[in-house]
Structure 1
């Protein structure tokens, strides 16, 4: 019997690990906090210890898939990851492979693997081209074109969070600064400082994206204004991507999707207003991600299987 696949989803906040059969059935999983504030070697040791809990005794994985942050994750090294600013040229894939008898190990960017998972098992099944956006603390993305993960010349393609826009104050902002959870918190702070509009947000110490979203869902007028503005900016980013890729579907995941139509309605309105041809648009162009918290874990298993076969 062929050994299974070890999948690891390493993020700045949480680490998830799973043992998959060779038909990509999840057999067992574990997760824990990543504690990335600790020394790097301690963090990697904790990932390995967590992974050892799901690998059956006396088995060596047929392959290991790792989902990791940073645009160059495909190299096996963590570089330029905004969520891990102190991790500079860290050979994560090599360290994990060595802990499991040098099993073949394949690492890739988290949003790319989420795109792969949603295409194979989630909301993008049967759609091609398919785009995936994660809108959470930041904004990332991935694309499936011709049934394959599209990563560009040097593996750096599909970074929608870094599309740039001029704002009313004359400054240039990234989409991430305007429509992510972090951006929503920033927009709220600016509106609170610039007006005397009554808002429940004035009663709390930490005005972040989560707090603004909760206030908006309770009908807070200022919070609703912020979410609508963020939705319009998100729509502008989507307009750019639709004009470039003409996707059949755009799947959106991440914590911001919990806002539902509060943020999707202005995004859809912006698409309808600004796309140059109505054929770019259709009723089901935007979909909410289907695979939940394990989307990157599943993507890591799929990626490992595909890379091993190739």
Structure 2
């Protein structure tokens, strides 16, 4: 008899990934492709492709998107890194297209619950997750549960950290910022830094110092036991985390959280996908209430437990 699973979706500004995810956080099958800048219909097509080949009993689909999500209505809001997709992402149309109950979630929220359940956040009650890639997002777990209201929270990347120029953390520390300060692609900057290139190392240090300010603000706001850093830029590992922790050690928040408790995510590119099962599990409980309830496909009853 086929085991239960969910369809996990991680939509990024650069790539989108769809996978069948088990309760243990295992990835049974997957597909990925570049995210087209102006074709939102590509996402349900990829979801249908993966779902059609699954031998598992799919309970539903959990779709992580790089946007503030209106959880009450299952609708994605402003998408600065995928502007042509704005107004085209909602749980109900995705459920109708795929024939599965669907939950729309902020991508960092999805990765946060994945790291809390299976990864670097295990063993904590209170955790902050930051993803640093094309953009910067955040997800927070408090008391073992995803922190959210009627909308997704913890948009750390959009917080202002330069009050004179009103520049945000994302503008100073995401992937495009690394490319700007180093003159290299993110992957090339990391490769050269690993080889000891001084300019590449300097670029990583510059964005690490900006990230430290964002992390310090998140520590003050949420008082976590651990901060987990994921996303493509975080693939630089110690070359990013060491100067980040060094900067944090000289800040007042070092009294609240030892910089050693700022750690790399363990899931790599699968951070968001692994979060699909625990988020589905939570969304289907009374604790989530009506806000995160899965949307059933048209013509079907409520989503299964």
TM-score w.r.t. length of structure 1: 0.82
Deviations 1:260-295 (A, max 9, x none): 22221221122111125x441326311110112222
5+ residue gaps, structure 1, are: 190-206
Alignment length, in residue pairs?
A: 284
* Helix, strand or coil at the partner of 2:113: helix
Distance in 2 between residues matched to 1:35 and 1:136, nearest whole Å:
14
Query: Counterpart of 2:181?
Result: 187
Query: Counterpart of 1:290?
Result: 266
Q: For 1:97-116, what aligned pairs fall within 5 Å after superposition?
A: 97-101=95-99, 103-116=100-113
Query: Counterpart of 2:32?
Result: 32
* 1:280 corresponds to 2:256: yes
> Alpha carbons of 1:53 and 1:30: their partners in 2 closer, same or farther (altered >3 Å)?
farther
Distance in 2 between residues matched to 1:95 and 1:186, nearest whole Å:
38
Query: Counterpart of 1:300?
Result: 276
The CA deviation at 1:108 is 0.4
> Alpha carbons of 1:255 and 1:88: their partners in 2 closer, same or farther (altered >3 Å)?
closer
Query: Counterpart of 1:269?
Result: 246
- Say if 2:226 and 2:263, in contact at 8 Å, map to a contact too: yes
Deviations 1:183-231 (A, max 9, x none): 1112235xxxxxxxxxxxxxxxxx3333322222222222222221211
CA RMSD of aligned residues (A): 2.4
Aligned partner (choices 147, 162, 168) of residue 174 of structure 1: 168
The CA deviation at 1:38 is 4.8
Distance in 1 between residues matched to 2:44 and 2:210, nearest whole Å:
40
> Alpha carbons of 1:294 and 1:224: their partners in 2 closer, same or farther (altered >3 Å)?
closer
Distance in 2 between residues matched to 1:107 and 1:225, nearest whole Å:
38
* 1:117 corresponds to 2:114: yes
- Say if 2:229 and 2:264, in contact at 8 Å, map to a contact too: yes
Aligned partner (choices 198, 206, 212) of residue 221 of structure 1: 198
* Helix, strand or coil at the partner of 2:55: coil
Query: Counterpart of 1:10?
Result: 11
Distance in 2 between residues matched to 1:112 and 1:145, nearest whole Å:
12
- Greater RCO (CA < 8 Å, at least 6 residues apart): 2
- Say if 1:178 and 1:187, in contact at 8 Å, map to a contact too: no
5+ residue gaps, structure 2, are: 287-305
- Say if 1:93 and 1:105, in contact at 8 Å, map to a contact too: yes
* Helix, strand or coil at the partner of 1:114: helix
Distance in 1 between residues matched to 2:82 and 2:229, nearest whole Å:
23
* Helix, strand or coil at the partner of 1:52: helix
* 1:56 corresponds to 2:55: yes
- Say if 1:19 and 1:54, in contact at 8 Å, map to a contact too: no
The CA deviation at 1:119 is 0.5
- Say if 1:28 and 1:54, in contact at 8 Å, map to a contact too: no
The CA deviation at 1:34 is 4.0
Distance in 1 between residues matched to 2:223 and 2:38, nearest whole Å:
43
Distance in 1 between residues matched to 2:112 and 2:59, nearest whole Å:
23
The CA deviation at 1:158 is 0.7
* Helix, strand or coil at the partner of 2:115: helix
